[in-house]
Amino acid sequence: MKTKELYSGKAKTIYRTDNPEQMIADFRDSLTAFDGKKKSEASKKGYYNAQISRKLFEMLEAEGIRTHYIDMVSDTEMLVDALEIILIEVIPRNIAAGSITRTYPIKEGTRFEKPVIVLDYKSDEHGDPMLNEDIAVTMGIATYEEIAHIREMALKINALLTDYLYSKDLILVDFKLEFGRKDGEIVLADEISCDTCRLWDKTTGKSLDKDVFRFGGGDVTSTYEEVARRLVPEIF
């Protein structure tokens, strides 16, 4: 099945398979923040993120969103469609937190009247700077039509995830999506996990995501486990 390692990112390793149309994403226990400047390991983190991602991809597929998810091949390994990745990080924001509160005079906790979609250029080398449509098109990353479609998909995904997570007592503050192309279609890629979402507990407002690592507010494994218990109770 798994053949050659294709590349190793900060939290996942991607392998080729004997089918050129499919790859395997292995969710690792390593985690980084601030463009890789802060690094660590947390046991079972890869497992929890893989299972949370699986569950959210399955939910979105059932709601008509095309994702790259095919199947799990082990606890931490996800079989996915091989895509041509679009180098844009799409960040839907419902409540102000993180970089938007540092870059602009917007107070943390401000609830946006409608979701704010931020586009970043996916490039560690350039520090993931914010993009707009013209810059992305000029760099040849995507077409205007593709970006319009991606924004529409991101809004739909945000609405679906917000409701789903709220039913598990989680507030979806913001999150990061990546997309790719497959046979002329735009497909949701990467992962949706505690690494890529800001989740606040509905009652206490406590961060239940990678912010506990970024800002040192708690134990990563037990935080991610708490989210997994709510979203994938069947693994416990």
Separation CA 10–CA 33 (nearest Å): 9
CA distances from 124 to 10, 34, 150 (A): 11, 10, 22
Contact status: 26 vs ligand TMP (CB under 6 A) = no
Residue 109: closest CA among 96, 120, 119: 96
Q: Which of 15, 57, 175, 224 binds ligand TMP (CB under 6 A)?
A: 175
Is residue 41 near ligand ASP by the rule CB under 6 A? no
174 binding ligand TMP? (CB under 6 A): yes
Instruction: Look at the chain and count its residues.
Output: 236
Among 34, 43, 107, 125, binds ligand ASP (CB under 6 A): 34
Tell me the C-alpha distance between 96 and 110, whole Å. 5
Which parts of 103-162 interact with ligand TMP (CB under 6 A)? 128
99 binds, among ligand TMP, ligand ASP, none (CB under 5 to 8 A by kind): ligand TMP
Site map 198..217 versus ligand TMP, x via CB under 6 A? x-------------------
Binders of ligand TMP among residues 79 to 108 (CB under 6 A) are 91, 98-99
176 binds ligand TMP (CB under 6 A): yes
> How many whole angstroms separate alpha carbon 102 and alpha carbon 46?
29
Question: In the bound complex, which residue of the shown chain has the CB atom lying closest to ligand ASP?
Answer: 32
- The helices-and-strands tally (H runs, E runs) of the chain is 6, 15
Distance of closest approach, residue 151 Cβ to ligand ASP, in angstroms:
22
Cα–Cα distance list, 218 to 14, 51, 123, 222, 223 (Å) = 29, 21, 29, 8, 7
Binding region for ligand ASP (CB under 6 A): 10, 32-36, 210, 214
